[in-house]
Structure 1
Amino acid sequence: MTSQMTQEKTMSIKEAIETRHSIRQYSQDPIPKEHIEEILELVRLSPSAWNLQPWRIHVITDYSLKEKLQDAAYGQKQVTSAPVVFVVTSDMEDVISNLADTVHPGLPDEKKEQEVANLAQFFNGLSIEERGQWGLTQTNIALGIMLVSIQGLGYSSVPMLGFDQKKVKELLNLPDHVHFAAMVPVGKPESEGYPHHRHPLEKIVKYH
């Protein structure tokens, strides 16, 4: 998908990473649906082990639902300030129920069947919670790509985990086994984020 926004406003990956800050106050200007879909198309291309793609994204634009999500997020005002909220979840039980959908269509049928059997054997050896945690590690890859994509396409965001997960599951009618990567308010910023405060490379990198 190539939109006018992409042609005119896209930042380089370097620019998007360097300029991204967590924003907590947004303009109420709506985000066009084609811009939302462009962000989601980029997220859809995220890599995952065995190509299992466990992320599931809920796009919230209804204000009354955002008010309820804000209440579940202990009153954090960015939830209703932003015109769009992405709730990024991981659902490994859905993945396991549809393993054939993740196998590359170019493989021979026999190879596809073997791949599905191997994956089923592996994941059936794990508990639901273990499977859920495994899927969450993969979904966090997609979350990172989402944050950079949002910034690169001219919007701002803030990833949140400060919310009552049980309440959010009830609001979105999600099963108990689902894991949350983040709630992500998105929009045009009306405030500046704090300057970056990050560890130096010497703290986080070891050469071997």
Structure 2
Amino acid sequence: MMRKTTTEQTISVQEAIESRRSIRKFIQQPIDQQHLQNIFELVQLSPSAWNLQPWRFHVVTDVNLKKKLEEAAYGQKQVTSAPAVIVVTSDMEDVLTNIGDTVHPGLSEEQKQEEVANLSAFFNGMSVEDRGQWGLNQTNIAFGILMTAVQGYGYASNPMLGFDQDKVRDLLNLPKYVQFAGILPIGKPDDEGYPHHRFTLEKIVKFH
């Protein structure tokens, strides 16, 4: 699929990674809808095993819903401070229901049918919980790319896992089997965040 070029000012991947901080206070300014569209077009390209793409993104901008999300997130103010909050989920049951949509169109009909049969047999042999966890592992790849794309378009973010999942499921009317990769408040930063404090490369990288 050809993607349109954009004249929007973005920064390099290196700059996005180096400049990213976890921001908890945002300028009260709506996010450009075209920027959101561009960000998700980049995230849409995230890789996944067998191209199953289990990630689903719920973009919350409604003020009242954000207040309820803040309550579900134990009162963390960045949820209502941010002009948009992205709830990142994984839905492997939807993937299985529509497994044929993930198969590459370049395959022959026989190859497509074989791929669908193999994938269906593999995942139907797992419990709902186990394949949900499998899909969550894939979705975390897209979560990282999402944060980088957000930063690249000049916005800040703050990945969150501190929230009551059952309450968020109820607020967004999500099935029980849906898994959460996290919540990502995004917007123009109104503070600088903390400087990076990371382990040394010797601590985290081993060459064999």
How many angstroms apart in 1 are the aligned matches of 2:112 and 2:198? 44
Partner of 1:89: 89
How many angstroms apart in 2 are the aligned matches of 1:2 and 1:203? 40
How many angstroms apart in 1 are the aligned matches of 2:32 and 2:11? 19
- 1:56-77: per-residue Cα shift (whole Å, max 9, x none)? 0001010000000000000000
Deviates more, 1:168-177 or 1:32-41: 32-41
Partner of 1:114: 114
Partner of 1:15: 15
How many angstroms apart in 1 are the aligned matches of 2:14 and 2:42? 16
How many angstroms apart in 1 are the aligned matches of 2:156 and 2:95? 30
Displacement of 1:3: 3.5
Partner of 2:5: 2
Matched, 1:26 2:12: no
Partner of 1:153: 153
Q: TM-score, normalised by structure 2?
A: 0.97
> How many residues were matched structurally?
205
What secondary structure is seen at the aligned counterpart in 1 of 2:185? strand
RMSD: 0.7
- 1:18-62: per-residue Cα shift (whole Å, max 9, x none)? 000000000110011111111111111100000000000001010
Partner of 1:202: 202
Q: Which runs of 4+ in 1 moved over 6 A?
A: none
How many angstroms apart in 2 are the aligned matches of 1:2 and 1:111? 34
Displacement of 1:4: 3.5
Displacement of 1:121: 0.7
What secondary structure is seen at the aligned counterpart in 1 of 2:106? coil
Q: TM-score, normalised by structure 1?
A: 0.97
- 1:82-133: per-residue Cα shift (whole Å, max 9, x none)? 0000000000000011100000011100000000000001001110000000
- Structure 2: unaligned runs, 5 residues or longer: none
What secondary structure is seen at the aligned counterpart in 2 of 1:182? strand
What secondary structure is seen at the aligned counterpart in 1 of 2:21? coil
Displacement of 1:2: 3.4
Partner of 1:58: 58
What secondary structure is seen at the aligned counterpart in 1 of 2:150? helix
How many angstroms apart in 2 are the aligned matches of 1:16 and 1:115? 37
How many angstroms apart in 1 are the aligned matches of 2:61 and 2:68? 12
Partner of 2:99: 99
- Structure 1: unaligned runs, 5 residues or longer: none
